[in-house]
Structure 1
Amino acid sequence: MNIKKYLLIFTILLCTISFSQEIPEKKVDDLVNQTLKAFNVPGIAVGIIHDGKIILAKGYGIADITTGAKVNSSTNFGIASNSKAFTTAAIAILVDEGKMKWDDKVIQFIPEFKMYNDYVTQEFTIRDLVTHRSGLGLGAGDLMVWPDGHNFTPTDIIKNIQYLKPVSDFRSKYDYDNLLYIIAGVVIERISGKTWTKFIQERILNPLQMDRTAPNWDLLKDKSNAIAPHVPIDGELKVIDRYTNPIFDAAAGIYSNIDDLSKWVLLNLNKGKHNDHQIISEAQIREMTKPQTLMPIATKPPYNSLFRAYGLGFQLQDVAGKLEVSHTGGLEGIVTQIVMYPQLNLGVIVLTNQQEGAAFMAVSNTIKDHYLGLPEKDWVKEYDELISKRGEEADKITDEVWQTVEKNKKSKSPDAKNIIGTYKDNWFGEITISENKGKLRFVSKRSPQLSGDMFYYKDNTYAVKWDNAYLHADAFVFVQMKDGKVSGLKMETISPLTDFSYDFQDLDFSKN
């Protein structure tokens, strides 16, 4: 054998040994501390699970800037939409028990369920509830659950979803949806005879001994070690009110921590088995990680992904030739991520108490690159530059709007008096526009956090600035005219960075 062959074999062996080694703890420490500083995040918790072992379970930084409490591996975070996989796992358990099938029709269990189109209503399955292919637009109807402080119920959602107009053909396109997961929670309740919270607690959390986890904030027994949500407002980090409305439970309700979520990840990597107990069948674990709805994909280094799809409660894509099973979650002031690689028997959990998603991406990408054997990349720098650019672009747009408002303050709007009154949208309910001391005031009857002052922008358009600055969701209000009179209102967000759950574009107000 010549020297070149020896060198080749040695290089392959060296790479194999290097890639199989665990990521050094100090490397993770340095990475997370850099991330905390770069993205102004008070606290982060990280978990790494590999080959059936918990390699790292650690907290960094501050849980609550008002108390100075530190983050550790048992600190609870709202995991938000990472709760969705618990909902699909609950359905999988019921399928295992023969009480339902994924392709059973929703109206079999919820006869009053109705979509905008009668055909869709009749054909809509349990699988359709959890795969974001309903034909509804991104975040359609989320204003019934977002922001917190409204009085909508799951019954309202079931009743009102029929008024949401589709933007694509049924089962033809991916558009992320929260409301249908809430309805999936109602299906679980009607089949099992137990509330979603009780079913999750008894059939998943208890068997996994996730003792410090709860289906929602109110049910968390020990709140002494939990993060506060943080949002940057005018450049200063502030603690905001926690989202606690139970309507969101089946889509985003769970509070958990690294120690407990490591058990959840191990369950999934171990094909539904915990110790000697098969909580979910291997067949159903496979079903949950099968592509259901194709998602947009941009193929580029270093991951060169060729497909991306939504499964049953998980996002799926190939990353450097390996299957990635993942999900993210976001509430005001909290964002999280869980990533798993079944072929590597690897799981990564990143929990944060600030809403900048670039923070968890920088951490998880760096960790997964190590285990995938990819060259090191400064993800913190890359995401920092990316969000700075996006932020500057968004600021330019919003600044121009408010500069125009200021410029036109003395201009008389063509409909200032006529706009005053009560308006109604079929699914969102009533709002009022009133005048007080020369100012127009927008107030939602059912979602009072959506209250703020309205200012003339230009033409027949106003801009509303919400009282709660941390919503980051100021919006345009377009006045609709008919026969010279105000007939209704439409809306849309001002900033391109506004969270999609502020689906103002789906509102269509008529004047009472």
Structure 2
Amino acid sequence: MKLLSSVFQRNPFLSLLAAATLFSLAGCASKIDNQAPYLAIPKADLNLLSERALAQFYVPGVAVGIVHRGEVVHLQGYGVRDFEQPDTVDQDTLFRLASTSKAFTSAALAILVDEGKIDWDDKVTEYIPEFQMQQDWVSDEFTVKDLLVHRSGLVGGAGDSLLWPEPSGFSRQEIIDSLKYLTPKYGFRSQYAYSNVFYITAGEIVERVSGMPYEDFVDLRLFAPLGMNCFAGDMPADAMNNIATPHGDVAGDLFAIDRNGIQGKATVSAAAGGLVCNVSGMAEWMKLLLNDGKTDSGEALFSKKQLAQMWRSETILSMSKREAERTQSHFKTYALGWRKNDMYGHQVISHTGTLSGMQAYLALVPEQQLGVILLNNGSNGSLRGAMMQEILSAYLKPEDETDWVADYYQYQQQAEQRYLANLSTPQGSNTVLFEENAYAGEYADVWYGGVNITQAKSGTKDLEQSELRIEFEKMVNLKGKLTPFDQHTFVINFDDRNAASPAFIEFVVDAEQQVTGFTLRPFSDKVRDNHAYRDMVFNRLSLGGD
């Protein structure tokens, strides 16, 4: 509709005609509003919005699903599944759901609560006796609900290095066993800090209580009754025929991120961010949620009481000034696998999902019986944000004239300019104190496992030179080159820079001038304690070549 405004300005007669038509349509809309589901954005405008957002934010493809008042009013794909192939995205194209998977883990637990097999306030140790945090009293008090609400006391993302970059070599049990090595920064239940590893733990409770693998439980108790062609575990071969490839971009040049692609096998991250689905299936999921947990046939997969529990605010979230002003929001909280806020006076239940190259955004407005799902195969979060705001605004504040694609693009450009203005690169002597081979050897951390540092040959035969290489035994995509920085510190430049950013590796030397171990931290001149390596201490096991 906004696209026609300039035409109306140039032709007053058309403006009057449009006003009369809109007045007439307003009366019709009022009747439709009271009787039937509808698509608030004309399909042609929605098509144009999608195509424009794909081009603006360098994303190859996106799928859009909208449900309203119990009916699917829009299901369509835009763009391509792979930027190097002509195959287009459609309503059945499979994407990874990333963190929108968390709501399914919450729902799986809700089913078990309905069946009287667990309670939200039960202690985790009742079901996983070996569950252990660094502080004993926290271990004893940690409840099933605590696993889902991001207030453990750990820093945000603690333990994510056990999951990503994929494929992870850690099992679910190893992840749970590693929790006791993660150092808390905040008081237990004192504040929000996002966590994936506790959803992995929640998946283990589903498995131990139900007696079936977590993946099977979700497939059989949630996907199957809804007829969703979606997968928590291994996928049949024929399901691999219509899958999206994840992508990143550098200055608009696209590239595939194969490690995060759909491989057809269950991932250890399933309960936190590893499910696979399409907008057709997610539309059925949204209909269920907007119908108090009941399918179209009236079967209750979980009770209305448990749905209310899953949507009950548990943890207060911060809200930016931009969020408050742009959508007239007043609060933001986290529930059980869901975020909550208000928008133009309406409560919105939502969650995003982010992997490198795959993104998702699901939003529900229960009082309007409205649900929107966006799945895309790019890395720019502005696409999902702009499209979601455009669609929700069309229903909740139809008079809004904001161009959300332009708004998000401008905000992104300003954020990038601020980042570049503050960007500084650490400076060192580009030398180290020992011969490089003195740092080679086998090392290990008690929870993250082994690391091998070797001296390898590189370059051409005529210009052959040696370099230090590092490989993490449990994470096959964490390998790279060590470049001297200063003293006993090197910079790790990982082979796949999209998988991991450069990092400092700081070797420890004892009084006898022997290298005994190392620690890691981000490649930055700013000291931070909130990073993936904060609890890793690698001790030397043997010398290089031993």
TM-score, normalised by the number of residues in structure 2: 0.84
1:466 aligns with 2:494: yes
User: Hey, what's the Cα distance between the residues in 2 that align with 1:509 and 1:46?
Assistant: 46
Evaluate the alpha carbon distance shift between residue 214 and residue 150 of structure 1 in structure 2; reply closer, same or farther with a 3 A threshold: closer
Residue pair 1:476, 1:491 contacting (<8 A) in 2 also: yes
Alpha-carbon deviations, 1:339-383, whole Å to 9, x = none? 111111111111100121111111001111111116221222222
Q: Which residue number corresponds to residue 377 of structure 1? A: 402
Q: Which moved further from structure 2: 365-374 or 55-64?
A: 365-374
Secondary structure at the aligned position of 2:325 is classed as coil
Q: For structure 2, list consecutive stretches of 5 or more residues without a partner in the other structure.
A: 1-22, 457-464, 542-546
Residue pair 1:490, 1:508 contacting (<8 A) in 2 also: yes
Amino acid at match of 2:536: L
Amino acid at match of 1:347: G
Amino acid at match of 1:283: K
Residue pair 1:214, 1:256 contacting (<8 A) in 2 also: yes
User: Hey, what's the Cα distance between the residues in 2 that align with 1:18 and 1:152?
Assistant: 56
How far 1:487 sits from its partner (Å)?
A: 4.4
Residue pair 2:81, 2:89 contacting (<8 A) in 1 also: yes
Q: Which moved further from structure 2: 313-322 or 485-494?
A: 485-494
1:477 aligns with 2:502: no
Q: Which residue number corresponds to residue 534 of structure 2? A: 505
Q: Which residue number corresponds to residue 5 of structure 1? A: none
Identity %: 33
Q: Which residue number corresponds to residue 6 of structure 1? A: none
How far 1:221 sits from its partner (Å)?
A: 4.7
Q: Which residue number corresponds to residue 292 of structure 1? A: 314
Residue pair 2:425, 2:524 contacting (<8 A) in 1 also: no
User: Hey, what's the Cα distance between the residues in 2 that align with 1:399 and 1:494?
Assistant: 11
How far 1:306 sits from its partner (Å)?
A: 2.1
Alpha-carbon deviations, 1:185-207, whole Å to 9, x = none? 11011111111111111111111
User: Hey, what's the Cα distance between the residues in 2 that align with 1:501 and 1:189?
Assistant: 31
User: Hey, what's the Cα distance between the residues in 2 that align with 1:362 and 1:343?
Assistant: 22
Residue pair 1:44, 1:353 contacting (<8 A) in 2 also: yes
Q: Which residue number corresponds to residue 347 of structure 1? A: 371
Count of residue pairs brought into register by the alignment: 493
Residue pair 2:181, 2:535 contacting (<8 A) in 1 also: no
Q: Which residue number corresponds to residue 434 of structure 1? A: 454
Evaluate the alpha carbon distance shift between residue 460 and residue 106 of structure 1 in structure 2; reply closer, same or farther with a 3 A threshold: same
Residue pair 2:58, 2:252 contacting (<8 A) in 1 also: no
Evaluate the alpha carbon distance shift between residue 107 and residue 220 of structure 1 in structure 2; reply closer, same or farther with a 3 A threshold: farther
Evaluate the alpha carbon distance shift between residue 14 and residue 302 of structure 1 in structure 2; reply closer, same or farther with a 3 A threshold: farther
Secondary structure at the aligned position of 1:143 is classed as helix
Q: Which moved further from structure 2: 219-228 or 69-78?
A: 219-228
How far 1:87 sits from its partner (Å)?
A: 0.7
- Mapping 1:337-416, distance limit 5 Å: 337-373=361-397, 375-392=400-417, 394=419, 400-401=425-426, 404=427, 408-409=429-430, 411-413=431-433, 416=436
Superposition RMSD in Å: 2.7
Amino acid at match of 1:247: V
User: Hey, what's the Cα distance between the residues in 2 that align with 1:462 and 1:387?
Assistant: 33
Q: Which moved further from structure 2: 201-210 or 376-385?
A: 376-385
User: Hey, what's the Cα distance between the residues in 1 that align with 2:468 and 2:78?
Assistant: 46
User: Hey, what's the Cα distance between the residues in 2 that align with 1:218 and 1:398?
Assistant: 44
Alpha-carbon deviations, 1:229-253, whole Å to 9, x = none? 1122575211221435621111112
User: Hey, what's the Cα distance between the residues in 1 that align with 2:28 and 2:331?
Assistant: 27
User: Hey, what's the Cα distance between the residues in 2 that align with 1:178 and 1:148?
Assistant: 14
Q: Which moved further from structure 2: 180-189 or 299-308?
A: 299-308
1:492 aligns with 2:509: no
How far 1:493 sits from its partner (Å)?
A: 3.0
How far 1:162 sits from its partner (Å)?
A: 0.8
User: Hey, what's the Cα distance between the residues in 2 that align with 1:124 and 1:288?
Assistant: 18
Q: Which residue number corresponds to residue 3 of structure 1? A: none
User: Hey, what's the Cα distance between the residues in 1 that align with 2:193 and 2:503?
Assistant: 22
Determine which of 236, 261, 269 is the counterpart of 1:248: 269
Q: Which moved further from structure 2: 214-223 or 470-479?
A: 214-223
User: Hey, what's the Cα distance between the residues in 2 that align with 1:464 and 1:431?
Assistant: 13
Q: Which residue number corresponds to residue 65 of structure 1? A: 83
Q: Which residue number corresponds to residue 420 of structure 1? A: 440
Alpha-carbon deviations, 1:2-32, whole Å to 9, x = none? xxxxxxxx99x87984995722112211111
Residue pair 1:164, 1:427 contacting (<8 A) in 2 also: no
Determine which of 219, 224, 232 is the counterpart of 1:215: 232
Residue pair 1:432, 1:442 contacting (<8 A) in 2 also: yes
Residue pair 1:133, 1:293 contacting (<8 A) in 2 also: yes
Determine which of 233, 238, 249 is the counterpart of 2:255: 238
Determine which of 141, 152, 165 is the counterpart of 2:183: 165
TM-score, normalised by the number of residues in structure 1: 0.89
Q: Which moved further from structure 2: 299-308 or 274-283?
A: 299-308
Amino acid at match of 1:50: H
Residue pair 2:352, 2:359 contacting (<8 A) in 1 also: yes
Structure possessing the higher relative contact order (Cα contacts under 8 Å, 6 or more residues apart): 1
Secondary structure at the aligned position of 2:504 is classed as strand
Q: For structure 1, list consecutive stretches of 5 or more residues without a partner in the other structure.
A: 1-9
Residue pair 2:66, 2:74 contacting (<8 A) in 1 also: yes
1:282 aligns with 2:304: yes
Q: Which residue number corresponds to residue 10 of structure 2? A: none
Alpha-carbon deviations, 1:286-319, whole Å to 9, x = none? 0000011111123521223222111111111122
1:312 aligns with 2:340: no
How far 1:447 sits from its partner (Å)?
A: 1.1
User: Hey, what's the Cα distance between the residues in 2 that align with 1:223 and 1:501?
Assistant: 38
How far 1:458 sits from its partner (Å)?
A: 3.8
Determine which of 228, 232, 241 is the counterpart of 2:245: 228
Q: Which residue number corresponds to residue 120 of structure 2? A: 102
Amino acid at match of 2:299: H
Q: Which residue number corresponds to residue 102 of structure 2? A: 84
Secondary structure at the aligned position of 1:471 is classed as coil
Amino acid at match of 1:103: D
Residue pair 2:165, 2:500 contacting (<8 A) in 1 also: no
Evaluate the alpha carbon distance shift between residue 457 and residue 286 of structure 1 in structure 2; reply closer, same or farther with a 3 A threshold: same
Evaluate the alpha carbon distance shift between residue 177 and residue 18 of structure 1 in structure 2; reply closer, same or farther with a 3 A threshold: farther
User: Hey, what's the Cα distance between the residues in 1 that align with 2:176 and 2:187?
Assistant: 20
Alpha-carbon deviations, 1:23-79, whole Å to 9, x = none? 211221111111101111000011111111211111000011232110111111111
How far 1:177 sits from its partner (Å)?
A: 0.8
Amino acid at match of 1:118: D
